[in-house]
Structure 1
Amino acid sequence: MIATAMPQSKAPRSVLFMCGMNAIRSPMAEALARVALPKGTYVASAGVRQGERDPFVDVVLEEVGLTIGRHQPRTLEELEDDYFDLIVTLAPEAHHMALELTRSMAVDVVYWPTPDPTVATGTREQIVAAYRAVRDHLATLIASRLAVESQQKGSPPAA
């Protein structure tokens, strides 16, 4: 099932972003959501399997004044907290795993198909452009689907 909008009318209190290796899409979404969602919202990210930190993520987040800090890719087993109001999956394998893990839990799982920028080829600028496209795609989804309530209350829109 591909969800196109939040099934609840208010912003979630805790969100987990999941992708394949927690190296690109989910940490990027985590950084974007931290500034777009209301203060006090717990935001985390994890991958289905262990990945390696990708330096292009730092490059494209820095362009919009964000950072993932000392983030190191982690798997679901490495998360400190395991309860979330919402799990946003960004890759098919993450979506399947989230549905399997939450079968008997009251948690919303939504799937936002997000391209993998590592498949981009060409010059450095062409590759960075693929990462920018993912960043902008995620920022748009977060602003339109998760941060709606906080924007209605006068908060600035997401980057």
Structure 2
Amino acid sequence: MAVASELAVERKPPRSILFMCGMNAIRSPMAEVLAKSLLPQGTYVASAGVRIGERDPFVDVVLDELGLTAGRHQPHTLDELEDDYFDMIVTLAPEAHHAALELTRSMAIDVVYWPTPDPTVATGTREQIVTAYREVRDHLAALIRHRLLGQTPAKMR
């Protein structure tokens, strides 16, 4: 019987990826930073929102825990992107998925939907709220590793 790690398929990630969510304030910039840290060097990674949002400080808190940073990222929309061609668009919210499908109707771009919870709905203490952001961060990192790099999720090992 083969070991699960031996069954992992080596997958070549797309050369350019756009992560999209509603306001480019939490999920998509977090995915962008994580992807840049996990994917091969030379992979072009960007993020955008359907509408403009405001930077969320909890994103910096949970990225910093991994030694990562969003740098001077400011939320922006699709219209503000420097490049508008991607091999893959990963949408993280229903609103973004609908916008991406509309945008790519006549293009040969893979659009995939990774349902990702909105951590801003978390209530309670600061620690409970940060925990919600950590869960989103870890969810996105696992999806990037599994779906873009072909690594077996830890729960399956």
The two structures have a TM-score, normalised by structure 2, of 0.88
Specify the SS of the correspondent of 2:124.
coil
Structure 1 segments, 4+ long, off by >3 Å, are none
2:62 maps to amino acid: V
1:157 matched to which residue of 2?
none
Per the TM alignment, residue 36 of structure 1 is displaced from its structure 2 partner at its CA by 0.8
Computing the radius of gyration from Cα coordinates, the structure with the larger value is 2
Specify the SS of the correspondent of 1:137.
helix
Residues in 2 aligned to 1:103 and 1:143: alpha-carbon distance in whole angstroms: 28
2:114 matched to which residue of 1?
112
Identity of aligned residues (%): 83
Specify the SS of the correspondent of 1:43.
strand
Specify the SS of the correspondent of 2:73.
coil
Per the TM alignment, residue 11 of structure 1 is displaced from its structure 2 partner at its CA by 1.1
Per the TM alignment, residue 10 of structure 1 is displaced from its structure 2 partner at its CA by 2.4
Equivalent residue in structure 1 for 2:130, among 123, 128, 131: 128
Residues in 2 aligned to 1:56 and 1:147: alpha-carbon distance in whole angstroms: 27
1:29 matched to which residue of 2?
31
Specify the SS of the correspondent of 2:68.
coil
2:149 matched to which residue of 1?
147
Per the TM alignment, residue 40 of structure 1 is displaced from its structure 2 partner at its CA by 0.2
Specify the SS of the correspondent of 1:17.
strand
2:91 matched to which residue of 1?
89
1:132 maps to amino acid: R
Residues in 1 aligned to 2:63 and 2:46: alpha-carbon distance in whole angstroms: 17
Structure 2: gaps (5+ residues): 1-10, 152-157
RMSD over equivalenced CA pairs, Å = 0.8
Structure 1: gaps (5+ residues): 1-8, 152-159
Aligned residue-pair number: 141
1:75 maps to amino acid: T
2:41 matched to which residue of 1?
39
Residues in 2 aligned to 1:11 and 1:57: alpha-carbon distance in whole angstroms: 25
- CA distances 1:110-129 after superposition (whole Å, capped 9, x unpaired): 00000000000000000000
1:38 maps to amino acid: P
2:103 matched to which residue of 1?
101
Residues in 2 aligned to 1:138 and 1:97: alpha-carbon distance in whole angstroms: 20
Specify the SS of the correspondent of 2:111.
strand
Specify the SS of the correspondent of 1:134.
helix
Specify the SS of the correspondent of 1:46.
strand
Residues in 2 aligned to 1:105 and 1:60: alpha-carbon distance in whole angstroms: 35
Residues in 2 aligned to 1:106 and 1:59: alpha-carbon distance in whole angstroms: 37
